A = this chain, B = another copy of it.
Amino acid sequence: MKRILIRVSYDGTSYHGWQAAEEQETIAGNVDRALKLLTGEDINVSGASRTDAGVHALCNLAVFDTASSVPPERFSYALNTCLPEDIRVISSEEVPKDFHPRFLKTEKTYRYRIQTGEMPDPLRIRYSWHISYPLDILSMQEAAAFLKGEHDFKSFCSVHTDVKTTIREITDIAVSQVSDEVHITVKGYGFLYNMVRIITGTLVETGRGRLKSGDIPLILKSCDRKNAGPTAPPRGLTLMGIDILSEA
């Protein structure tokens, strides 16, 4: 048996996320099916980030164990012949048998794209949230700065979550105007359920003037989801990449 690490890129529009409880179409389910076709083995690929329904990835990581004789680097090409074209395995390599990105220190980068034209552009609507009211970028940048660093992000976490601690560290957060789009780029070692989408919803409330940037420390302090903004829709969110920082 050997362990293979794959990098996976996908358009999440048609899927119930990386992984789902029910018999729904998922990214992992499609990779498993392709692995079955290729190796004959019943494999459950294990992802570093279990992205939500409708969320995209430029690069997610996953591992699986196989007894197949397929050379490790050939898995990406071979799997792509069995996968729908909105899922691509962009690389594959052998890793130590106990290697798993979910149990290593990693830094994840997410980007949320917002379209701000008067009318939504149908050529970008799968990958961005359209907002027709004007956004004050400076307010959003000021608000974002309050989120950087280690905080209890309980207010920025969907209520039906079950984690040991809601303390997380945002290592970097940037709000930038890119022609008629606003991009919110967030980096951190780990995120709570819906955290980036709630951060986005809250920054948008700030950008439209319903919240002030100075409200952010109070929202954090309250530890109450109701005080943050709405959860932005999944379509605008893309997992840009996962950097493995150390083997511990």
Residues of B within 8 A of A88 (CB): 119-122
Residues of B within 8 A of A9 (CB): 119, 121-123
Residues of B within 8 A of A87 (CB): 122
Residues of B within 8 A of A238 (CB): 123
Which residue on chain B has the smallest CB distance to residue A58?
B123
Report the Cα distance A154→B76, complex, angstroms.
42
Q: Is the CB of A85 within 8 A of B123?
A: no
A243 contacts partner chain B, Cβ-Cβ < 8 Å: no
Residues 67-84 of A at the B interface (beta carbon under 8 Å): 76, 80
A245 contacts partner chain B, Cβ-Cβ < 8 Å: no
A137 contacts partner chain B, Cβ-Cβ < 8 Å: no
Q: Is the CB of B90 within 8 A of A123?
A: no
A156 contacts partner chain B, Cβ-Cβ < 8 Å: no
Give the A interface residue count (CB, 8 A): 21
Residues of B within 8 A of A125 (CB): 11, 85-86
Question: What is the CB-to-nearest-CB distance from A78 to chain B, in angstroms, rounded to a whole number?
Answer: 13
Q: A154-187 vs B: 1/0 string, CB under 8 Å?
A: 0000000000000000000000000000000000
Q: A99-125 vs B: 1/0 string, CB under 8 Å?
A: 000000000000000000001111101
Report the Cα distance A127→B58, complex, angstroms.
16
Residues 182-241 of A at the B interface (beta carbon under 8 Å): 238
A129 contacts partner chain B, Cβ-Cβ < 8 Å: no
Which residue on chain B has the smallest CB distance to residue A87?
B122
A-B pairs with beta carbons under 8 Å apart, 23 shown: A9-B119, A9-B121, A9-B122, A10-B122, A11-B122, A11-B123, A11-B126, A56-B123, A58-B121, A58-B123, A76-B119, A80-B119, A85-B120, A85-B122, A85-B125, A86-B122, A86-B125, A88-B120, A88-B121, A88-B122, A123-B127, A123-B238, A126-B126
Since A9-B123, A11-B126, A123-B238 are in contact, a sample of 14 more A-B pairs with Cβ atoms closer than 8 Å, ordered by chain A residue number, is A9-B119, A9-B121, A9-B122, A11-B122, A11-B123, A58-B121, A76-B119, A80-B119, A85-B120, A86-B125, A88-B120, A88-B121, A123-B127, A126-B126
